[in-house]
Amino acid sequence: MSKQTIISFPHMGDYHVPIGGFFRSVLPDAEVRSAPAITKQTAALGERHSPDFICAPFKYNMGNFLETLEDGATVLLQTGTGCRYGYYGELQGQILRDLGYDPTFLCLSRGRVRPDRVYRALRGLGSPRSFPQMVHAFWVTMEQIRGMDQVGRTVRENLAFARNPADLREVYGRFLDGLSHADSISKVRRLIGETKGQLRKISLDLPTHPLRVGIVGDLYTVMEPFSNADIERKLAERGILVSREMSVSFLLSPRSDRQAVRRAGGYARHHIGANGLDSVVQTLEYAKAGYDGVLHLKAFGCTPELNAAPAMGNIGRDYEMPILSMSFDTHQGDTGVDTRLEAFMDMMEMKRRVQSGRSV
């Protein structure tokens, strides 16, 4: 493979750090460039070259691909299983060809996400690594993702209460930088331990009973801050403790539909597509844990999450817990989000006052 080979892939939260590290490890002669952080220009570019009624993640991905192609990328990666996301690669590749681009499009989705097929695809790109070496690189990446999600959870749940929120962000930034250089499982675990120790030293002003909000929804909208108007930051700035189970670690954890249906407690009796059932289960668990509310975030037109909405509404009714469902597309504005969040906070505070009155 020529050293001019430049590999890129769509942006989603901070996962470009471990994913980029994996490709640098297995394709040492290539240059790996993750797509730049998504902006309004990225969204507008992707929307211009996408089908009108396709969901927002497709449009963001298209914007990412077009920007990185203009920056010199020669190989593009797309992956996914679950919902329609797993079929995006073929359509995106065709759109790019129609626009006159001719990248190597590595589509590792659905049935192609098997060790033997991934190995052959990477060898076809010129990887000198053996199968065991690729497996080792994969497990290092999985450990990085696990650590990133653990540290991210701590930052997320404490951000509203840090005396200086910049301290939390600084520790997390150093962690991501260290993660990009940790090339063994032992180094990753050592970095995780050191970072957790640093986080424990940060001064917090924890109220006795903070408002607690759980976040559920489709994986891309939940995990990519730009696609949800950076809603976790908005909640933290309002003094709300934010919890979120959905992450890449969660998606890769072993679980079965039958087990999930049992955990849904009768609110859902069948698999309802992609992570829709997970949204129901997590909403029920937040309700049982006494959370003040749940935010259900989804891309506009996301069918699995639309399927989950009635069950979630029943949970909210039975547990008297406010649930705010928000659909996002590429033209979502901050003003509307802020207005709905303020109303949601009013609902949660009203619920507390009512419950307080009952207990008197």
Distance from first CA to last CA of the chain, Å, rounded? 73
Judged on CB neighbours under 10 Å (0-12, 13-18, 19+), 42 is buried
- pLDDT of the residue at 1: 46
The pLDDT tens digits of the residues spanning 167-177 come to 999 999 999 99
Each residue of 242-262: pLDDT tens digit? 999 999 999 888 888 889 999
pLDDT at 335: 82
Whether the per-residue pLDDT at 281 is higher than 70: the answer is: yes
**Domain spans in the chain, listed from the N-terminal domain onward:** 6-127, 133-158+162-205, 208-355
The CATH architecture to which 6-127 belongs is 3-Layer(aba) Sandwich (3.40)
Model confidence at 2: pLDDT above 60: no
Determine the Cα–Cα distance for residues 58 and 55; give it in Å rounded to an integer: 6
- Dump pLDDT digits (tens) for 71-130: 999 999 988 766 777 778 889 999 999 999 999 988 887 667 788 989 999 999 999 999
Calculate the alpha carbon distances from 85 to 218, 261, 357 in Å: 11, 23, 47
Contacts of 42 (CB under 8 A, 6+ apart): 36, 60, 63, 64, 67
Q: pLDDT at position 145, please?
A: 97
pTM: 0.93
Q: What is the pLDDT of residue 236?
A: 96
Distance, in Å, from the CA atom of 240 to the CA atom of 158, rounded to the nearest integer, reads: 9
Examine the pLDDT at 154 and tell me if it is beyond 90. Answer: yes
Read off the pLDDT of residues 310-357 as tens digits, 9 standing for 90 and up: 999 999 999 999 999 999 998 777 788 999 999 999 999 999 988 877
Mean pLDDT on 14-29: 96
For residue 276, pLDDT beyond 90: yes
Please provide the CATH number assigned to the domain covering 208-355. 3.40.50.11900
Which of 3-7, 74-78, 159-163, 195-199 is predicted with the least confidence, judged by mean pLDDT? 3-7
**Would you say 63 and 45 are in contact if contact means Cβ atoms under 8 Å apart?**
yes
In this structure, the number of other CB atoms found within 10 A of the CB of residue 27 comes to: 20
Same fold yes or no, 6-127 and 208-355: yes
